[in-house]
Amino acid sequence: MRVLITGAAGFLGSHLCDRYIAEGHTVVGMDNLITGNMDNLAHLFGHERFSFIKHDVSNYIHVSGELDAVLHFASPASPIDYLEHPIPTLKVGSLGTHNTLGLAKHKGARYLLASTSEVYGDPQVNPQPETYWGHVNPIGPRGVYDEAKRFAEAMTLAYQRFHGLETRIVRIFNTYGPRMRLNDGRVVPNFIHQALTGQPLTVYGDGSQTRSFQYYTDLIEGIYRLLVSDEKLPVNIGNPSEMSILDFAHAVIEVSGSNSEIVFVQPKDERVTDDPKVRRPDITKAREILGWEPKVKLADGLAQTVDYFRDRV
């Protein structure tokens, strides 16, 4: 296959490039580098089956030659990033999705949209099955991401139903691992950075809010299976082992062998507005349809991630 991956220089996009190259496919990576980092792709430059185009997919996209698949992973993806880039976040989820769908239709390519657990907002149902419609504040600070991704899902289904395009949608839950940005503001890089530099780990609120963390290799495997599956409706891919943010802070301290303390902070800014109180994927569908489930334990994935960050702090 010849595959276009948007957001190729990001955390997930670059790992996807690696997977498709490793499977013998040809990869065209695309990124405008507002949050992506070329270091994540440096090892692929010079590879005969890899090429890169610096481009903002919110503008008309031209790719010469055939394409068999388009994987749309471009978007700021951390609360800090979309607070800093609210309009590009809305544009890449809406216009970028429209443009990549149009490209896939033109090329006769299969399409996969990177959606998110944020479509469920601050959920009133836990765990969240794909049938849950969500509880999103459209005008809060997270609305720029949540609503763009909800629009992206609607647009993708419209291309499937109206144009007969082969589309797939993955709803990605919290994922961590090497190549996350140290300063992206998310809890995993924040806590690891703090643990490795002896600073206190900043737990927002009382730390009772929950998340379910999956290691990136499990996610990439789920995406790889989903693209070749027949499932046309969204599929959750995440690790159902849910924990409080306070317990997660303890886990980071333990794995990194840090002496850091834990402090409770009450940010007054938008970082914690509409912060989901719980989040856990119901992965029944992925288990049944893809024969997929996460394999990597938190302690093992965290150890790999801490090693990666140790070289960079």
Residues with a catalytic annotation lie at 145
Contact criterion met (CB below 8 Å) for 216 and 77:
no
Tell the smallest beta-carbon distance from residue 190 to ligand UDP (Å).
Answer: 4
Amino acid at 37: N
Q: Please identify which residue in the block is written with the tokens 């395009």.
A: 165
Tell the smallest beta-carbon distance from residue 155 to ligand UDP (Å).
Answer: 22
Q: Which two tokens stand for residue 214?
A: 């999956």
Query: What 3-state DSSP class applies to 201?
Result: strand
Backbone angles phi, psi at 129, to 5 degrees: -85, 165
Near ligand UDP by CB under 6 A: residue from 110, 211, 280, 285: 211
**Cα–Cα distance, 279 to 248 (Å, whole number):** 14
| Segment (H or E) for 183 | none
Tell the smallest beta-carbon distance from residue 180 to ligand UDP (Å).
Answer: 10
Q: Does 190 bind ligand UDP (CB under 6 A)?
A: yes
Q: Does 202 bind ligand UDP (CB under 6 A)?
A: yes
**Cα–Cα distance, 170 to 236 (Å, whole number):** 6
Near ligand UDP by CB under 6 A: residue from 231, 242, 270, 275: 275
Angle at the Cα of 169 from the Cα atoms of 168 and 174, rounded to 5 degrees: 145
Near ligand UDP by CB under 6 A: residue from 91, 171, 179, 186: 186
Nearer to ligand UDP, 29 or 141 (CB): 141
Tell the smallest beta-carbon distance from residue 230 to ligand UDP (Å).
Answer: 30
Q: List, as one string, the DSSP characters of 206-227.
A: TS--EEE-EEHHHHHHHHHHHH
**Cα–Cα distance, 216 to 227 (Å, whole number):** 17
Nearer to ligand UDP, 66 or 247 (CB): 247
Q: Please identify which residue in the block is written with the tokens 């880039």.
A: 85
Nearer to ligand UDP, 114 or 187 (CB): 187
Q: Does 242 bind ligand UDP (CB under 6 A)?
A: no
| Segment (H or E) for 169 | strand 167-172
Q: Does 272 bind ligand UDP (CB under 6 A)?
A: yes
Q: Does 204 bind ligand UDP (CB under 6 A)?
A: yes
Contact criterion met (CB below 8 Å) for 196 and 306:
yes
Tell the smallest beta-carbon distance from residue 174 to ligand UDP (Å).
Answer: 5
How crowded is the C-beta side of 242, counted as CA atoms within 13 Å?
Answer: 15
Helix axis angle for 245-256 and 187-196, nearest 10°, is 40
Nearer to ligand UDP, 183 or 284 (CB): 183
Q: Does 203 bind ligand UDP (CB under 6 A)?
A: yes
> Quick one: which segment of 9-17, 37-45, 61-69, 197-205 binds ligand UDP (CB under 6 A)?
197-205
Greatest CA separation for the chain: 57
> Quick one: which segment of 99-107, 121-129, 202-210, 288-296 binds ligand UDP (CB under 6 A)?
202-210
Measuring CA to CA, which residue among 180, 233, 236 is closest to residue 212?
236
Q: Does 178 bind ligand UDP (CB under 6 A)?
A: no
Near ligand UDP by CB under 6 A: residue from 97, 160, 209, 239: 209
Per-residue interface string for the shown chain with ligand UDP, residues 66-105, x marking contact by CB under 6 A: ------------xx--------------------------
Task: Write out the residues near ligand UDP by the rule CB under 6 A.
Answer: 78-79, 174, 186-187, 190, 202-204, 209, 211, 245, 272, 275
